[in-house]
Chain A
Amino acid sequence: MGIVHGEEMVLNIGPQHPSTHGVLRLHVQTDGEVVSHIEPVIGYLHRCFEKHCEHLTYEQVIPYTDRCDYIASMNNNFGYVVAMEEFLGIQVPERVEYIRVIMAELNRIASHLIALGTYGLDVGAFTPFLYMFRDRERILDLFELTCGARLLYNYMWVGGLSHDLPVGFVDACYRFLDDFEPNLKEYHDLLMYNKIFIERTADVGVLPAEVAIQYGVTGPNLRGSGVQWDLRKNEPYSIYDRFDFDIPVGTGQMGSVGDCWDRYWVRAQEMAESVKIIRQALQDLPAEGNVHEALPRKVRAPKGSIYKRTESPRGDLGYYIISDGKGTPFRVKMRSPAFTALSVLSEIASGWMISDVIAILGSLDIVLGEIDR
């Protein structure tokens, strides 16, 4: 306890902290409550995903992709198998495509529910979090019904799926959607349009579109800044060109374009769009089709490389796969959307208060499993 100086204090937020969404450390310089500089320190969850891949066959990589973004595992599977199928030139059956879209969109809803719920926690509202977990629970039940797993699915395989839909899935899915849609409005009234919530998030952590593009920020964070960019629409993969859905973009309703509220709002709207996609996919789902039909006996990629991006709930999820013609990949690189989203934090959160830094970090919706890989 020395003499009081007007110096800045260094604060370590994390790696063990209630709202770092994983094991993230923020090296923060503060002047009182105001944060003057932030440096994210990552790597606490580094599990050598890319090194592992070089020692595994192409199919064995899939369970590892699950563990990267453990909140949206279906979408991680999806990105990898889409890349591999384009690499190998495999045409998968219609039924498989529809089931994949249904699963990916269900998982997108589940992921956004976590994003929005934990964001409520970050700004101090506990109750919406549990409401949203209640609905996420039903999505996980659907997944459990389908493939037996609730978090890490290993469901989508190169050329097919591990299991076909179980009997009664379509009805159960419709029942969930019917229950879920009215709930959405309740959540929005409870949190999104709450006066205190708006005060806390509007005009806070504004991410201008140019900065977002400079930092490679994608997904809902980029759309929150008013850029209409969604790979499902702009570079349709799988069968996304068959569905009718909108891409919500932030308009600065409560403050300026690209603030935390806009990012929250975009995620909230995307859930409704996902519901639309799932309804159409369930409608058109072909009754017949063998999900194991197009599975190759052994996945052996030709020499060459491919970079393929898909739209995960957090943004552009890219896989760069290089093959030297052998049975194991020569190199797999995962371009994770949360990695780029976190890199922009120090740019947009400097100069705000500690509470705002937490709010801004939460609004970027990062998953450390994907950042550290």
Chain B
Amino acid sequence: MTVDQIIRWFQSLSGSGEQAWMFLAAVVITGLPLFLVLATNAIVAVYVERKVSAFMQDRIGPMGQGAGFHAGKWGLLQTVADALKLLLKEDVIPSAADRKLFVLAPYIIFLAPFLAIAAIPFNQVLQVSDLNIGVFYVLAMGSFGVIGLILAGWASDNKWSLYGAMRSAAQIVSYEIPAGLSIIAVVMLVGSLNLQQIIEFQTGTRWGFLPNWVVFHNPFSFLAFFIYFISSVAEVNRTPFDIPEAESELVAGFHTEYSGMRWALFFLSEYANMLIVTAVAVIVFLGGWTSPIPGLFATAGWGLFWFLFKIGILILVMMWFRWTFPRLRVDQLMHVCWKVFIPLAMLNIFGVGVWALGVG
């Protein structure tokens, strides 16, 4: 259900042309669920992250135990309790900080994934806006957040924050290139930037038994998926690429000076960004809402399930990375990007092109 469809429905009800209230109502009707999706995503993901890290580290993680309120059964209410705590915390702004920018930065960072999710198709019908340049739009909006990071780092008037901001600017800008290049390869294959069309291209089967996903399409697209996925891990600043907030070096990087709800917005946007980049990976490479067993479970309801399921798997892999690997150094990070991934991604575009012409 896109905004346009809702407006058209309003028009059919009232029998008049498009009016301002219709547009506003349509935006609210679609925007509110999206906000809830992002907020829920953060709450669930934080809980899962805690449990996953606990299981990997031979711990049990947040648990409810004994009588009274102890974060609920299995610690399910732990993140809720945390969110409450963050809401009640004192909002500290350093006296030397650039007040306006300091306050503005978390919103800009959160705005980026919120804008991006508007174009994401959750299944065959659930989509706020079916843009014809969907991939381009999502990538552009996703990289918008780096402005917020730089603002936060600069406005804090803290040397650690500044280091964190500079590192993340360099990192995110660099890793967008291999991520973008590997998606270009797919766009070439499909011949469209529209997300729904990219998914529809992936329906059906390949060689009779595999789902017709881009990742299985040819060896080059298989490689493109890995380049994109690793680059996207770097783009969302997660270990082993978490150098902008490397806690053993930069204390907390760009959000060192933030506390309370403002800090929570950073946290929220980190998980929201994870959702966006994995959603793009699922749409572009893993068939979006298509079923892994071609022909079965292909209804719209199952589509939503498959889409979220695939995202969940990829987010779990990201968590797995985080609790396994040490952190790279800044120059090594740049080395991987500019000297390994970008040439490989270039080669990939060529490879996919040749494959498409030769093999089909």
Which residues of A come within 8 Å of B, CB atoms? 1, 9, 11, 17-19, 33, 120-127, 130-131, 134, 190-191, 194, 196-197, 199-200, 353-356, 358
Contact = CB atoms under 8 A, between A and B. Distances in A.
B314 to A, nearest CB: 20
A121 B182 CA distance: 33
B100 interface: no
Interface stretch (B143-151, B240-248, B265-273): B240-248
A199 B328 contact: yes
Output the residue of B57, B239, B331 with the most chain A CB within 10 A.
B57
Contacts of A353: 329-331
Nearest to B160: A11
Contacts of A122: 248
Contacts of A123: 248, 326-327
Complex A-B, nearest 5 residue pairs according to Cβ-Cβ distance, in ascending order? A124-B327, A125-B326, A19-B248, A130-B57, A123-B326
Contact of A355 (B59, B249, B323): B249
B90 interface: no
17 contacts: A17-B251, A19-B249, A33-B163, A33-B331, A124-B240, A124-B246, A125-B327, A126-B53, A126-B323, A130-B57, A190-B324, A196-B240, A199-B332, A200-B332, A355-B246, A355-B327, A355-B329
Nearest to B56: A127
Interface in B38-74: 53, 56-59
B233 to A, nearest CB: 13
A1 B332 CA distance: 31
Contacts, number: 77
A106 to B, nearest CB: 21
Interface residues of B, number: 28
A354 B323 contact: no
Contacts of B163: 33, 354
A19 B248 CA distance: 5
B95 to A, nearest CB: 15
A127 B330 contact: no
Contacts of B331: 33, 353
By secondary structure, the A interface counts as helix
Contacts of B59: 130
B263 to A, nearest CB: 17
Contact of B329 (A1, A190, A356): A356
Contacts of A131: 57-58
Nearest to A129: B57
A356 B248 CA distance: 11
Contact of B326 (A1, A134, A191, A354): A191
Contacts of B243: 355
B207 interface: no
B69 to A, nearest CB: 27
B249 A200 contact: no
A12 to B, nearest CB: 8
B329 to A, nearest CB: 5
A72 B240 CA distance: 32
Contacts of A197: 326
A194 B323 CA distance: 13
Contacts of B328: 196, 199-200
Given A126-B57, A199-B332, A200-B326, 7 more contacts: A9-B159, A120-B326, A125-B327, A127-B56, A130-B58, A196-B326, A200-B332
A33 B249 CA distance: 11
Nearest to A199: B332
Select the residue from B249, B251, B327 with max chain A CB neighbours within 10 A. B249
A124 B325 contact: yes
Given A196-B240, A354-B163, A125 B249 contact: no
A134 B58 contact: yes
Contacts of A354: 163, 249-250
Given A17-B251, A18-B251, A358-B248, A124 B159 contact: no
B96 to A, nearest CB: 11
A358 B57 contact: no
Contacts of A196: 240, 325-328
A18 B248 CA distance: 5
B326 A124 contact: yes
A11 B57 contact: no
Contacts of B329: 199-200, 353, 355-356
Nearest to B323: A127
Contacts of B159: 9, 11
B326 A194 contact: yes
B325 A125 contact: yes
Nearest to A359: B329
A358 B328 CA distance: 13
Contact of B57 (A1, A121, A124, A127): A127
